[in-house]
Amino acid sequence: MSVSAEAGASSPGSTRAARTLAVTGLNHALHDGYTDLIYVLLPVWQAEFALSYGLLALLRGLYAGAMAGLQIPVGRIAERIDGKVILVAGTALSALGYVFAGFSGGVIGLGFALALSGAGSSTQHPIASSAVSRAYGAGARGPLGIYNFSGDLGKAAIPALTSVLLVIMSWRHTLLVLASAGLLVAICVALWMPPVGKGAEHKAAAASHREGAGGGFPWLLAIGILDTAVRMGFLTFLPFLLRDKGASLPTNGLALALVFIGGAAGKFTCGWLGERVGTLRTVLITEGGTAALIVAVLLLPLAPAIVLLPLLGVMLNGTSSVLYGTVPELTPAHQTERAFALFYTGTIGSGAIAPVLYGLLGDALGPTLATMATALTALAICPLAMVLARHLAGDAGTHRAGA
């Protein structure tokens, strides 16, 4: 009787959690696809508006800058307004940005439209991540990994769809089709996503929830920044390393695809791994594996180096899902959106700055030594993870036992 009652009680909660994950995953796929379809359109816009490479980079930067720069304000707003409302509005705004881009008559209008779309996309990381975290509670690591994996699906599917649509219609009509899809997703969020609630509504539970996990967020943020730097730095040099081993342009394309496929698998699997073996062990596995595999790719001939790339992709991207899943453990319940916003802003900023810094190192020392520096950065994360483990209830005992 009691078992039956528990099952009946837990079923609605499980259904709501599954709906939250499904809708936020769809939303994540849309926004990440919106972010990356710009790369497909840059050559088209260059031909249409006679743009320089600098202006093309500025267009891309307007979208990315608006998205990254507004995440922290969005996190603060979510403490006063239901996150579902913000997510619906942001998704609709992002779609409308592409509507305006489709009707733009020049580079100024196009830039404004992309900034508007980027502003809409600033809502999805902090709000959707927090929604999944609250829906699943202590078991959120695996679902957050699936949520992050869905973004990679969007990065693959929407730019590919854009390329197909450009064959059969103009770029303006293509953007209108994609914007219509975005408005449909906004409607799906409005109709089917359970309410997220205001961050302030969770304030009463903050004292009893995660009470032993204070003080660790700066360490988590530092690990996230360095992990992103390793990933972006390595990917910057990979085509040149393989070219020096004799890889052709198509082979380089295949190699990058293998890394990205492995990365998507890493996001999917490592969230569950972190739930089972803990954050510390998972980070030590992924960062140690990253360093070892980077060195192997540097030393091995072309064919075996390419064979290792999917596994390297798993290691490169796997840490991120573990880190995202740890954010809720280190922040008060009513500040989850703000914490996710800060974390995503830090990692996105690292992704923009790290290639420049490693590029300067490559100019000074050459690509091989600069790539070796990314491996050393991965190893530098391991002691930070040990410090972080002291602030995590599930890892503290493991850390003390190993001390």
Question: Identity (one letter) of the amino acid at 288?
Answer: G
Q: Do residues 271 and 141 lie in contact, with contact meaning Cβ atoms separated by under 8 Å?
A: yes
- Indicate whether this model's pTM tops 0.85: no
> How far apart are alpha carbons 341 and 16 in whole angstroms?
24
State the alpha helices, DSSP H only, in 278-335.
Answer: 279-299, 302-326
pLDDT computed for residue 11 by the predictor:
60
Taking each helix axis as running N to C, give the angle between helix 217-244 and helix 336-365, from 0 to 180 degrees, rounded to the nearest 10. 40
CB 262 within 8 Å of CB 274: no
**pLDDT value, residue 4:** 43
Q: Tell which residue, 244, 264, 243, has the closest CA to residue 253.
A: 243
Domains of the chain in sequence order: 15-199 (1.20.1250.20), 217-402 (1.20.1250.20)
Q: Could you give the C-alpha distances from 246 to 194, 241, 297, in angstroms and in order?
A: 53, 9, 14
Query: What are the pLDDT digits (tens) for 227-271?
Result: 999 998 998 889 889 989 998 878 888 888 888 889 888 888 887
Q: Which residues in the chain show pLDDT less than 50?
A: 1-10, 200, 204-213, 398-403
Q: Which among 122, 127, 161, 172 has a CA at the least distance from the CA of 20? A: 127
| pLDDT attached to residue 394 | 60
